[in-house]
Structure 1
Amino acid sequence: MPIRILIADDHGLLRAGLRALLRDEPDMTVVGEAIDSEDTIRKALELRPDVILLDISMPGRGGLEVTRFLRKNLPGTRILILTVHEDEDLLREAIRLGASGYIIKRAVEAELVHAIRAVSRGELYIHPAMTRALLKDLAPPPSEASPVEPLTPRELEVLRRIALGYTNRQIAEELGISVRTVETHRANLMSKLGVNSRVELVRYAREHGLI
């Protein structure tokens, strides 16, 4: 059975162009055209197409409201948004409301045909120019850098003992290193943490829960 398609767009020339394009596809047939939101809903309920090519800027309720209504009342019909808007927020909202695809009107003919076949199979199709928006949503949120992330394990050991009031010699004896090495670690700590004294090192350690 061919894919039964309803074209919903208020521009007659575009509808004629789409109809001519799809006429050449043996596995597709255009069963109707709609010129505004109410016309789209009425013909969708009457014709029950497999796929609706839906302009997001339809007169009346608009494409998003039509998408919401049809996903609730015609769950078996796939909605492929066809729009000039390369807008990430519109893309997210359309997908959230149940659209099966989002394709830009400047897409080449082969892309549109591929998109129709994809959504008719139950797949999600996003125009390549817009996929970055969804990939951005799927990426994990940037984690807040740890206040001690730049410090080495040895520097942390030295910082904790400084905060506890150890002298350089006591730190050296406990860690089995030289006093000069402790002084080097302390200088590195001040440089990395942007502090200028032992007192500020102690305050930093306490404020960040290191003791």
Structure 2
Amino acid sequence: MKKIMIMHPCIVTWHGLYQLFRRKLPDAEIVPAHSIYDLVFNDDLSDVDLIVSELYGLNENITMGVKLLSFVQSVRQDKPLLIMTDVPGQQVLDYPGYLPGASYIALSEDIRQLVNQVDRVLAGNIVISPSLRREQEIRLFNVDARPFSRSEIKVYSLLQEGFSISQIAKKISRSVKTVSAHKRNMMGKLGIESEVELYACFNQ
């Protein structure tokens, strides 16, 4: 692998992941990211051989993070995605339908186990940490949902920052009607029916 992008909102954890992958792949270019939006809007996204990411970023809750990662994977034509997460297992495995083929490693794993699992991913295997598995069948979360479009991502981000529909329309040079349609589409994709639920997503 020639190019790896590592995304984690915690700078300390990011440096730990950087050191791990630097030791494993000393010749690889390692690109930093602290927000999943950094991944989405990276011009070289299709050239990245492996993305290592948490399920949330500096500006994204888990629900939004998974949606954005789904979009990232659609652009990358399903190149390897490794989720290295501190999110509890039951919550993590609510989302595999969005990210088929991704590997999931718990950051809480014993270091030897964690390194062994990373080695298996680098060898081309799909890995799910034993500590993330549940005994009962994994319940897929809204498997048929489609990822957000780039325009929807932009609108979501501006809504999250507190801009009104009319302000967003001016900012992105679109009509109020178009921005409202993007908002309705996003709510449908998130499986929510009210603006209250949408704004609650921003604060999860």
Shift of 1:43: 3.0
Task: Note if contact 2:8-2:34 (Cα within 8 Å) is conserved in structure 1.
Answer: yes
Aligned-pair identity (%): 19
Where 1:94 maps in the other structure, the secondary structure is: coil
Change (3 A) 1:24 1:90: closer
Question: Radius of gyration: which is bigger?
Answer: 1
Partner residue of 1:10?
A: 9
Partner residue of 2:80?
A: 78
The number of equivalent residue pairs is 135
Greater relative contact order, per chain length (Cα 8 Å cut-off, separation 6+): 2
Shift of 1:54: 0.7
When the two chains are superposed, the root-mean-square deviation of aligned CA atoms in Å is 2.7
One of 88, 97, 100 as aligned partner of 2:99: 97
Shift of 1:126: 0.5
In structure 1, distance between residues paired with 2:110 and 2:48: 23
In structure 1, distance between residues paired with 2:104 and 2:27: 19
AA of the residue aligned to 1:22: F
In structure 1, distance between residues paired with 2:115 and 2:6: 13
Partner residue of 2:126?
A: 124
Task: Note if contact 1:55-1:82 (Cα within 8 Å) is conserved in structure 2.
Answer: yes
Residue by residue, what CA displacement relative to the aligned partner does 1:168-207 show, whole Å, maximum 9, x if unpaired?
xxxxxxxxxxxxxxxxxxxxxxxxxxxxxxxxxxxxxxxx
Shift of 1:122: 4.1
Where 1:67 maps in the other structure, the secondary structure is: helix
In structure 2, distance between residues paired with 1:114 and 1:47: 27
Task: Note if contact 2:39-2:72 (Cα within 8 Å) is conserved in structure 1.
Answer: no
| Runs ≥4 residues deviating over 6 A | none
AA of the residue aligned to 2:92: L
More helix, by proportion = 1
Shift of 1:60: 3.1
Where 2:9 maps in the other structure, the secondary structure is: coil
Quick check: 35-44 or 107-116, which moved more? 107-116
Partner residue of 1:87?
A: 89
Q: Which runs of 5+ in 1 are unaligned?
A: 139-211
Partner residue of 1:68?
A: 70
